[in-house]
Structure 1
Amino acid sequence: MNGFGIVGTGSFLPDDVVPNRVVAERAGVSDEWIVRKTGIRSRRYAADYEATSDLAVKAAEKALADAGVPAERLRWIVVATSTPDHPQPATACLVQHRIGADRAAAFDLNAVCTGFVFALETATRLLSAGSGAGYALVVGADVYSRLVDPTDRRTAVLFGDGAGAVVLGPVRPGRGVVGSHLATRGAYHRMIRVEAGGSRLPASEKTLAGGEHYFQMDGRAVREFVASEVPETVRRLLGEHGVAPEAVDHFVPHQANGVMLTELMPRLGLTGARTHLTVAEHANTGAGSIPLALDTARRDGAFADGDLVLMAGFGGGMSTGATLVRWDTQHS
């Protein structure tokens, strides 16, 4: 029986390129400081008229065109985001309507920056539970420029806006999604947070005055979490499927911070893998970062038939997730 795999990819970045000097001036740091601390040199910001769904739709349309799959053949649409257009309805509903996927069930998934990996596993399971046919659209999209305090050097320098998407569908035997390992450490949920705007602390003049609607992060604690938890997640995934770390051909991580990723790599043991990084040009685009980097690598011709592609994310919750895919060039 054929499995399910990635049969098309797409991505979208807003037009506005924001170099370090612009962010540095607002945050009270220098271009050199940002590069030294993060490896980031620029990012994209959504225009005033653009919301998360606008970026998601454009990435989705490119992925569908790449797959050669009409929207009406989609059975599922899962949008991973922590910056939805509205508290409700789900951003996925807006995407479904605008791309004309009237037969698809659509919903959002929020695992913050690990969202795409969680959504990919969810969509794969939904397809596998069906009749063995059909397609799913998985989108990661975020507009973090609306959530960060431009004067906070700990967060303002890290984030940009962007979206990536994949179409999941039937692939040849021996190809497709090998498996995933997902984990959540809820005890650490305060490491990354947006305090106000929900049912516990509704938006008010007081919360706005206190900046409680801004993204907040304990950077040191997050770095320690990533250093310990991500290698364990990758180890568990590869061990569950009998894959040696050195057998992985490509590594596509969440593009959180270039310096942190450089420190992380030796802990993973992926000695044979080519790591795909877009963080220097795109910064951290939240749930959009992995599919955006994946699409960039695929368009550059990086993946050969049968290559093992490992995607790994980490983010608020605190959550980690890794997915292993045996690439099928016949369908992608």
Structure 2
Amino acid sequence: MKIQIQSIEKYLPGTAVHSEELESRMGIAKGWIEKNAGVQIRYWANADETVAAMAATALQKALTSAGLTAENLDMMIYAGASYDYPIPHNAGRIKKALETTAKFPCFDVDSTCLSFLNALDIAHLYFQRDTLRTIAIVSAELSSRALNPNDPKTYGLLGDAAVAVILTQNKEGYEPLAPYFINNPEGADLAWIPTGGSVSRGMVHDTPEESFYFRMDGKRLISLTLRELEPFLDRYEQLSGMTPAAYDFVIPHQTSRFGNEIFAKQYCLNERQLVNTISRYGNCISASIPLGLCDLVHQQNDLSGKKILLIGSAAGLSLGALTLKF
């Protein structure tokens, strides 16, 4: 089975926010954010923008680029952690924002930063049933509204973005190989937003404001990720038959500058191989991996014969990888 990327497009909301501006707001030293997080600029949505609107904009761009309309889709998957309302699911709101009356099925996949990889794997499984021909996946993250301005480690790291990809079964394209995902529940409480769910709805008068913001135990999260990464990649090498260095391109989730540098050094990846977007977008949660794929597809005239590794980690703690063999 081969799958063609008919189109892939991104939408960067609002305007570029430079790290110097955030450093000035927080009263921290100039250059601190780039030194510690690796981010020069990120995009933060305007106050009137929604997750559904961002996703619909990226999806409409992808449909137009492919010469399609929403009526040509057989399925749409929203893959992300951000949402406008707890109910209904985002995919339905995105369809409404597209202003289509088409009744193709749609649903959400949320595994935070690995949402796109999980959705891509699910799309491949649907294609194997040979009942669907065209599937759209869209990841949209509006993380800026859940950031604590008193926490420079997260406030300077995360950005907003939306990416949509249109996939079709075709004689040309890529062959998906060796999907592999694990989860270590030891990391379940290392990155979270305490308030907003069923445990704490935030309805009592003394609910602290900071409990609505994203927080993470960075040191423990990095330590656990590094501990899990080596055996994970050892197993993935057995499944795929390739080391990370054997790929033409490696697109990792953009955890941080430190994460990218450690990964590249440990697995002997050069600057050409590693698709590094952290400096110009920040960590965009589920949109990070598809942003890297989008930029790569637009920069490369022809991916024929290339092997691409998509790999990342997510809150939970989860690790995932998937090979695209063109």
Q: Shared topology, TM-score over 0.5?
A: yes
| Post-superposition CA distance 1:208-253 (Å, at most 9, x none) | 4252111010011121233233444344334213234333100111
Question: Shift of the alpha carbon at 1:31?
Answer: 3.1
Deviation of residue 71 (structure 1)? 1.9
1:122-133, aligned counterparts within 5 Å? Answer: 122-131=122-131, 133=132
CA–CA distance in structure 2, aligned partners of residues 69 and 37 of structure 1: 43
Aligned to 2:165: 166
- Quick one: distance in 2 between partners of 1:148 and 1:205? 21
Q: Which of structure 1's runs of 4+ aligned residues deviate more than 6 A?
A: none
Q: What amino acid is the match of 1:112?
A: T
Give yes or no for contact 1:38–1:260 (8 Å, CA) kept in 2.
no
**Does the C-alpha gap of structure 1 residues 107 and 227 become closer, same or farther in structure 2, counting only changes over 3 Å?**
same
Contact residue 14 and residue 161 of structure 1 kept, 8 A: yes
Worse-superposed segment, 198-207 or 36-45: 198-207
Residue 78 of structure 2 aligns with an amino acid whose one-letter code is V
What's the counterpart of residue 305 of structure 2?
306
2:153 maps to what in 1?
154
Structure 2 residue runs without a partner (length 5+): none
For 1:114, the equivalent position in structure 2 comes to: 114
Residue 171 of structure 1 deviates from its aligned partner by 2.9
Q: CA deviation at 1:176?
A: 2.7
Could you tell me which amino acid in structure 2 is paired with residue 222 of structure 1?
L
Q: Partner of 1:185 in structure 2?
A: 184
- Going from structure 1 to structure 2, the CA distance change for 1:206 and 1:227 (only over 3 Å counts) comes to farther
Residues 1-332 of structure 1 mapped to structure 2, 5 A cutoff: 2-99=1-98, 100=100, 102-131=102-131, 133-172=132-171, 175-206=174-205, 208-270=207-269, 274-301=273-300, 304-327=303-326
Give the match for residue 330 of structure 1.
Answer: none
Task: Determine what percentage of the aligned residue pairs are the same residue.
Answer: 25
Contact 1:252 1:310 (8 Å CA) reproduced: yes
CA separation of 1:222/1:200 partners in 2, compared to 1, >3 Å: closer, same or farther?
same
Following the alignment from structure 2 to structure 1, what is the Cα–Cα distance between the partners of residues 43 and 171? 37
Q: 1:64 to 1:230 in 2, by over 3 A?
A: farther
SS of 2:137's partner is: strand
8 Å CA contact retained: 2:187, 2:221: no
**Does the Cα contact within 8 Å between 2:20 and 2:31 map onto a contact in 1?**
no
| Contact 1:192–1:216 (CA under 8 A) maintained in structure 2 | yes
Counterpart CA distance in 2 for 1:103 and 1:214 is 36
Which stretch shows the higher mean deviation, 23-32 or 315-324? 23-32
Tell me by how many angstroms 1:302 deviates.
Answer: 6.4
Over 3 Å counting, the alpha-carbon distance change for 1:294 and 1:54 in structure 2 is same
Give the aligned residue type for 1:125.
L
Classify the secondary structure of the residue corresponding to 1:79: strand
8 Å Cα contact 1:73/1:101 also seen in 2: no
Q: Secondary structure at the match of 2:74?
A: strand
CA spacing shift, 1:129–1:225, aligned 2, 3 Å: farther
C-alpha distance in structure 1 between counterparts of 2:155 and 2:42, whole Å: 11
Q: Distance in 2 between matches of 1:49 and 1:89?
A: 20
Contact 2:3 2:173 in 1 (8 A): no
Go from structure 1 to structure 2 and tell me whether the alpha carbon gap of 1:101 and 1:235 turns closer, same or farther (over 3 Å shift).
farther
Deviation at 1:68, TM superposition (A): 3.3
Which whole-Å deviations, capped at 9, do the CAs of 1:187-213 have from their partners, x for residues lacking one? Answer: 311010001100111122456425211
In structure 1, how many angstroms separate the alpha carbons of the residues matched to 2:268 and 2:231? 11
Q: C-alpha distance in 1, partners of 2:212/2:143? A: 12
Q: 1:67 to 1:111 in 2, by over 3 A?
A: same
1:324 Cα offset (Å)? 0.8
Q: Deviations over 1:97-119 (max 9, x none)?
A: 33327232111111111111111
Report the count of equivalent residues.
325
Shift of 1:174: 7.9
Note if contact 1:15-1:44 (Cα within 8 Å) is conserved in structure 2. Answer: yes
